[in-house]
Structure 1
Amino acid sequence: MQQLCCLKVKKLKRHKINRCLIVCDGYIGKRLLNIYLKKNEGSSFAIISADGASNVLHLLNIKPRYIIGDLDSIFPDVLSSFINSGVSIKRIIEQEHNDLEKCIMFSISKGMNDITVIGYGGNRIDHTINNFSILKKYYKKCSIRFIDDEFEVFMINKKTEFDYKRGEIISIMGFPKADGIVTEGLQYPLKNESLEIGKREGALNRAISDKIKISLKKGELLIFKKHFNTF
């Protein structure tokens, strides 16, 4: 497995850290992880590993600040190694929440309300859909986004706008439903229209402007936009 360089996160007082990177035990893009860490090297953020993701981080010589979960997936030798290196281990055995949600709950409790999640998807589509449900549950309580090799995924319930690149794909989904949607800068604009799972989707739209604007009157939207490695 390709190894990444071991990058140091600037050590600041814990109460000053309000950002974190949660690494889940799904598909972890090694190049994406490397780019993210390099771009944020020297900044104050905490790496939080969700249980089995620790096995990958150990192989890549990346030390998290915390390991959280029921610890049923982390290899014993990896756990021992991280304990010996001073990583804080938070074993939470209750099964009402999955490891991602345990990490989010812990992050918020520590005042880390700017959350990026890597490894949220993988071979288990049920896990991925469940994680989107968790995103919906927490996006009003904190700033949270999922990222993979190409896309950034987040939710909105009010007007938003962002810079984009002409010709690039963007997908918009009611989650489960949104009404009164108005968009600007898209090839297939929405003009006071609705999107709803099982009725009408908004996947594979395309930008025709350098600025995208999306507003809605009611409901919630799940947005998939390319991140262009800007973190």
Structure 2
Amino acid sequence: MMQPRIVICTGGQLGPFALEHIDTADLLIGADSGARFLVNHGYRPDISIGDFDSVSEQELLAIRSSSSQTIACDPIDKDYTDTEMAMRLALDLQPREIILIGALGTRFDHSLANVHLLALASEAQVPASIIDNHNKITLLTDTAFISHHGYPNVSLLPLSLKVTGITLTGFQYPLDDASLTIGQSLGISNVLLSESGRIAIASGLLLVIQSRD
């Protein structure tokens, strides 16, 4: 039996776009106010998790009554953010894929930490992506084909100190066995020449950021 896809809804910027990325077959995890968003839009989270310091007592009661399972923790005595707790829980369930929505927002520290969570999924060999209304972010460790899907810009940034052997096929600005190190902007704002392109690397962790204005 195929493992489910897991969609984690967390407490960053959310809106109608988020609902477009939820399918009826998905296992839904709501992290803190992300659970409130799901419940307010008629979804029943399979699991709601967090310290719930971003919701009122009445909203927490609604989350508990509308979720199949609720895992609450003390806001002080915890080691992980709500989103990381949700990600680690999702990885324990061994899904075929993880989608993070609401992972980007006005708190840059949380946004950056959430991008780093893609490395956890990569270590577990689970495909994962962060999606908002303007971006789709994935982490590459070998080779991938990416599709346009309404995101005309493609930027490449190293998450490790160095990424080597970068080869791009099907892009306006090709690369052949190139390297990127932290602090370089060489990989910013490339463009697919058609509906899909190929990215291959030899070593390192490469963020692939597809974006639109």
When normalised by structure 2's length, the TM-score is: 0.87
Question: Residue in 1 aligned with 2:127?
Answer: 143
For residues 144 and 167 of structure 1, the distance between their equivalents in structure 2, rounded to whole angstroms, comes to: 17
Change (3 A) 1:172 1:51: same
Structure 1 residue aligned with 2:92: 109
Judged with a 3 Å threshold, the aligned counterparts in structure 2 of structure 1 residues 174 and 56 are, in CA distance, closer, same or farther, namely same
CA offset digits 1:181-229 (Å, max 9, x no partner): 11111111112111122134411111123331111111111001259xx
Partner in structure 2 of residue 6 of structure 1: none
CA distance in 1, matches of 2:99, 2:91: 12
Which ranges in structure 2 are unaligned for 5 or more consecutive residues?
none
Cα distance change, pair 36–69 in 1 and its aligned pair in 2 (3 A): same
**Aligned position for 2:38:** 57
User: Could you say which residue in structure 2 is the equivalent of 1:25?
Assistant: 11
- Which shows bigger deviation, 70-79 or 112-121? 70-79
Letter of the 2:13 partner, please give it. Y
User: For structure 1, which segment, 147-156 or 78-87, has the greater mean C-alpha deviation from structure 2 after superposition?
Assistant: 78-87
What secondary structure does 1:112 align onto? coil
Name the structure 1 match of 2:147. 163
Q: Percent identity?
A: 23
Name the count of aligned residue pairs. Answer: 208
Q: How much does 1:175 deviate?
A: 1.3
Mapping of 1:1-231 within 5 angstroms?
18-28=4-14, 30-37=15-22, 40-41=23-24, 44-93=25-74, 94-141=77-124, 142-164=126-148, 168-176=152-160, 177-225=162-210
Question: Conserved in 2, the CA contact under 8 Å of 1:22 and 1:49?
Answer: yes
Flag structure 1 segments of 5+ consecutive residues without an equivalent: 1-14
1:116 Cα deviation after fit: 0.5
Partner letter of residue 150 of structure 1? H
The two structures have a TM-score, normalised by structure 1, of 0.81
Confirm or deny: 8 A CA contact 2:6 2:90 kept in the other structure: yes
Q: Residues 222 and 87 (structure 1 numbering): CA distance in 2 closer, same or farther, change over 3 Å?
A: same
Q: Deviations over 1:151-192 (max 9, x none)?
A: 221101101123337992111111132011111111111121
CA contact (8 A) 2:142 2:202 kept: yes
SS in 2 for 1:36: coil
Q: CA deviation at 1:113?
A: 4.2
Partner amino acid, structure 2, of 1:24: T
Query: 1:17: Cα distance to partner?
Result: 5.2
Give the C-alpha shift of residue 68 in structure 1.
0.5
Q: Post-superposition shift, 1:64?
A: 1.4
Does the C-alpha gap of structure 1 residues 62 and 193 become closer, same or farther in structure 2, counting only changes over 3 Å?
Answer: same
Q: Secondary structure at the match of 1:202?
A: coil
Give the Cα–Cα distance (whole angstroms) in 1 for the partners of residues 211 and 105 of structure 2.
19
Deviates more, 1:47-56 or 1:107-116: 107-116
Q: Is the 8 A contact 1:55 1:75 kept in 2?
A: no
* Amino acid aligned to 1:217: A
In structure 2, the residue corresponding to 1:68 is in which secondary structure? Answer: strand
- Give me the whole-angstrom Cα distance separating, in 1, the residues matched to 2:33 and 2:153: 32
Q: Is the 8 A contact 1:181 1:193 kept in 2?
A: yes
